[in-house]
Amino acid sequence: MSFQSLAQKLKDRKAVIGIIGLGYVGLPLSIRYADEGFQVVGFDIDPMKAEKIAAGKTYIEHIPDSQIQGATQKGFRATTSFADISKVDAIIICVPTPLNKYREPDLSFVINTVESFLPFMREDQVVSLESTTYPGTTEEELLPRIESRGLKVGENSFLVFSPEREDPGRQDYSTKTIPKVVGGHTANCLEIGKLLYNGVIDTVVPVSSTKAAEMTKLLENIHRAVNIGLVNEMKIVADKMGIDIHEVIDAASTKPFGFVAYKPGPGLGGHCIPIDPFYLTWKAREYGVNTKFIELAGEVNSNMPQYVMEKIAQGLNGVKKSINGARVLVLGIAYKKNVDDMRESPSVMIMEHLRDKGAVIDYADPHVPVFPKMREHKFDLRAVDVTATTIASYDCIVVATDHDKFDYSMIQKSAKLIVDARGRYRGGYENVVKA
């Protein structure tokens, strides 16, 4: 009766939902379930997050305190104890899947999470992995571990993969309205997976297997990575020819079919697009496939921070200064505009290149007042206020992330030199170098 009992609980909103990883994916998903009347338990190894949630306070800029408070009033709570896994009916895993120093998949967060909750698993639970990964992960890493507990997946335990599709700061789509792809290990698993998400997501898209769902997520983000790589390379060519690539993109966008606009920049950021291509290329080697096209796009995008550095050197040389000793202000260190998300931000790579070359670095970002603790990057800095006097005191201003809160007119009028990596300054300005 395991399938029927869990299915009925999900239909009746009587199931207790456990969400592991309360970051940019797990926190909004927790709120979504709470809003629909489910009891939700959030799990995170960071006690700060549990404390903030208990106090009704947010730690993600685009999620207001009011949403946290609304969810907690409906029963949402957070804990650092995996012992509470025995009390939930659904276990949704939303933990990071970064790359190691060799640009290979690092599944340690997923595997450590599963190993941590395994002792507390019981019958009649569904496990859903949402973390982006290579095709085969759910079957190869999660399935044998769950069945090592004496559970039979598809009969008294259920396993699905449903890739997250969050886009922090986006206004036109939300967790509720972004369609949800779901793949199950068995037909019963798929049915349970559909019921798990049907209650909180407007549109659920079932696919034939966990592998198909895993590949779907990779295709979505590799599609973006490849096209961004293309437009970044086009930017370099256009710059050599004295052509404004942003003007060209705007003109091409007037074609009502056959063209999708992608914007160039200083590199790729966010947790998915810079990382996902490497998950597929790594797994493809197991099948004897060399993914040349994808790897080339990754190479182009990875080299963009260095391209910006060359433009900074060019600009400073033009005013008879070197990078060594120059005072440089980096505008925007989040990976995209109008958010506080720092994951894989190319701005940080530019800052590290500048520091290595001897520049004196500061940053300004209205969304990131203090440089956060990061796994691979360390700067003991606080955001400076962007005033005309402040801007004028630097040798170079680098527009790395074009937040709307910056006063670009004032910055242009006050700066000695601007290196614009986001195409914010259109037309000709004597003090602007386009990067």
162: which residues sit within 8 A by CB, 6+ positions away? 128, 129, 130, 180, 181, 182, 183, 193, 196, 197, 213
Task: Return per-residue pLDDT of the chain as tens, 435 residues.
Answer: 589 999 999 999 999 999 999 999 999 999 999 999 999 999 999 999 999 999 999 999 999 999 999 999 999 999 999 999 999 999 999 999 988 877 788 999 999 999 999 999 999 999 999 999 999 999 999 999 999 999 999 999 999 999 999 888 788 899 999 999 999 999 999 999 999 999 999 999 999 999 999 999 999 999 999 999 999 999 999 999 999 999 999 999 999 999 999 999 998 876 666 777 888 888 999 999 989 989 899 889 999 999 999 999 999 999 999 999 999 999 999 999 999 999 889 999 999 999 999 999 999 999 999 999 887 788 999 999 999 999 999 999 999 999 999 999 999 999 999 999 999 999 889 999 999
Q: What is the Cα–Cα distance from 197 to 176, expressed in whole angstroms?
A: 10
Fold match, 2-208 / 303-434: yes
Query: In the chain, what is the greatest distance between 2 CA atoms, to the nearest angstrom?
Result: 78
With CA atoms as reference, report the closest residue to 93 among 165, 153, 164, 152: 164
Residues involved in catalysis: 272
Give the CATH number of domain 2-208: 3.40.50.720
The pLDDT of residue 100 is 81
Strand-strand pairing, 157-161 and 327-331: unpaired
- Give CA–CA dist 165/229, Å, rounded: 21
Question: What pLDDT score was predicted for residue 151?
Answer: 96
Q: How far is residue 302 from each of residues 103, 232, 233, measured CA to CA in Å?
A: 12, 10, 12
SS3 assignment, position 118: helix
Provide CATH code, domain 303-434.
Answer: 3.40.50.720
C-alpha–C-alpha distance, residues 17 and 42, integer Å: 8
Phi, psi angle pair for 139, to nearest 5°: -75, -35
- Helices assigned H by DSSP within 167-303: 187-198, 210-240, 245-252, 276-286, 292-302
> Which superfamily does CATH assign the domain made up of 218-300 to?
N-(1-d-carboxylethyl)-l-norvaline Dehydrogenase; domain 2 (1.10.1040.10)
What does pTM read for this prediction? 0.91
Query: For residues 282 and 290, what is the distance between their CA atoms, to the nearest angstrom?
Result: 9
Q: Can you give the residue ranges of every domain in the chain?
A: 2-208, 218-300, 303-434
Cα–Cα distance, 197 to 130 (Å, whole number):
12
Nearest to 294 by CA among 91, 114, 103: 103
Look up residue 202 and give its amino acid: D
Q: Is the dihedral of CA 164, 260, 208, 14 positive or negative?
A: positive
Instruction: With CA atoms as reference, report the closest residue to 334 among 406, 280, 285.
Output: 406
